[in-house]
Amino acid sequence: MFRSSPILFNQGAPFVKLFFSLLLGSVIIFADYKLHATEKIRLVGNNLLFPIQQLLSQPGKFSDFSLDYFQTRSSLKQKLEEQSSQLDYLRLMANQAETLESENSHLRKLLSLQQKSNVKSLAAEVIFSPLSPSSQRIIINRGNADGLKSGMPIASEAGIMGQIVRVFENSSEVALLEDRDFVIPVLVERNGLRTVLFGVGRGEPLELRYVNNLADLDVGDHLITSGIDGTYPAGIPVAIISKIDRSSDNSGAIIACKPLAQLHHHRHLIVLLYQPTTTALRPAESETVKNRLRQKKGN
Amino acid sequence: MAFSIFKLRSMTGPFLTLLGAFILNMFPWGNSPWVPDFLLITLAFWVLQAPEKINLISAFVLGLLMDIQTSQFLGVHAIVYVTASFIIIYEQRRLLNATLLGQTFIMLKVFLIANFVLLLILWIIWPGKEISFAFIIIPSVIETCLWPIFKKVLSNRASFINHHQT
Q: Tell me: the pLDDT tens digits for B84-119?
A: 999 999 988 889 898 999 999 999 999 999 999 998
Residues sharing a CB contact under 8 Å with residue A238, sequence separation 6 or more, in sequence order:
A159, A160, A177, A184, A186, A197, A223, A224, A225, A259, A260
Q: Is A127 on the interface with B (CB under 8 A)?
A: yes
A220: in domain: yes
CB neighbour burial string for A230-242, b if at least 16 within 10 angstroms, e if fewer: bbbbeebbbbbbe
CA–CA distance, A111 with A132 (Å, rounded to integer): 49
Average pLDDT, chain A: 79
Query: For A263-272, B49-58, B137-146, which range has the lowest pLDDT when averaged over its residues?
Result: A263-272
Report the percent of chain B where pLDDT is more than 90. Answer: 45
Please name each of the domains of chain B with its CATH number.
2-165 (1.10.1760)
pLDDT at position B46: 92
CA–CA distance, B79 with B70 (Å, rounded to integer): 15
CB pair distance less than 8 Å for A131 and B35 = yes
Flag whether pLDDT at B8 surpasses 60.
Answer: no
Q: Are residues A265 and A152 in the same domain?
A: yes
pLDDT in tens, A184-194: 999 888 888 88
Distance from first CA to last CA of chain A, Å, rounded?
81
Higher pLDDT, B90 or A117: B90
Q: Are residues A111 and A232 in the same domain?
A: no
Q: Are residues A130 and A164 in the same domain?
A: yes
Are the CB atoms for A268 and A119 separated by under 8 Å?
no
Q: Is B22 on the interface with A (CB under 8 A)?
A: no
Per the structure, the complete domain to which residue A59 belongs is given by 16-70
Q: Are residues A189 and A251 in the same domain?
A: yes
Flag whether pLDDT at A229 surpasses 80.
Answer: no
Size of interface A-B (CB pairs under 8 A): 128
Q: Are residues A59 and A174 in the same domain?
A: no
Element (H, E) at A187: strand A183-188
User: Which of B68, B77, B162 is the best mutation test for A, with the most CBs of A within 10 A?
Assistant: B68
Q: Are residues A66 and A88 in the same domain?
A: no
CA–CA distance, B146 with B150 (Å, rounded to integer): 6
Q: Are residues A41 and A170 in the same domain?
A: no
Flag whether pLDDT at A135 surpasses 90.
Answer: no
Higher pLDDT, A24 or A40: A24
User: Which of A127, A131, A138 is the best mutation test for B, with the most CBs of B within 10 A?
Assistant: A131
CB pair distance less than 8 Å for A133 and B28 = no
Instruction: Domain count for chain A, please give it.
Output: 3
Report the percent of chain B where pLDDT is more than 70. Answer: 84
Q: Are residues A195 and A234 in the same domain?
A: yes
A250: in domain: yes
pLDDT at position B134: 84
Q: With bands split at pLDDT 50, 70 and 90, how would you rate the model's confidence at B73?
A: confident
CB pair distance less than 8 Å for B31 and A202 = yes
Q: Are residues A229 and A192 in the same domain?
A: yes
CA–CA distance, B52 with A158 (Å, rounded to integer): 56
Flag whether pLDDT at A91 surpasses 60.
Answer: yes
Flag whether pLDDT at A105 surpasses 80.
Answer: no
Q: Are residues A192 and A86 in the same domain?
A: no
Residue A49 DSSP label: H
Q: How far is B76 from chain A (nearest CA, A)?
A: 7
* Domain edge (last residue) among A115, A141, A175: A115
CA–CA distance, A13 with B144 (Å, rounded to integer): 23
Report the percent of chain A where pLDDT is more than 90. Answer: 6
Average pLDDT, chain B: 84
Flag whether pLDDT at A296 surpasses 90.
Answer: no
CB pair distance less than 8 Å for B27 and A129 = no
User: Which of A9, A19, A23, A29 is the best mutation test for B, with the most CBs of B within 10 A?
Assistant: A29
CA–CA distance, A256 with A207 (Å, rounded to integer): 5
Flag whether pLDDT at B18 surpasses 50.
Answer: yes
CB pair distance less than 8 Å for A28 and B65 = no
Pairing relation of β-strands A222-225 and A268-272?
unpaired
Higher pLDDT, A28 or A104: A28
Q: Are residues A101 and A32 in the same domain?
A: no
pLDDT at position B108: 95
Higher pLDDT, B161 or B89: B89
A266: in domain: yes
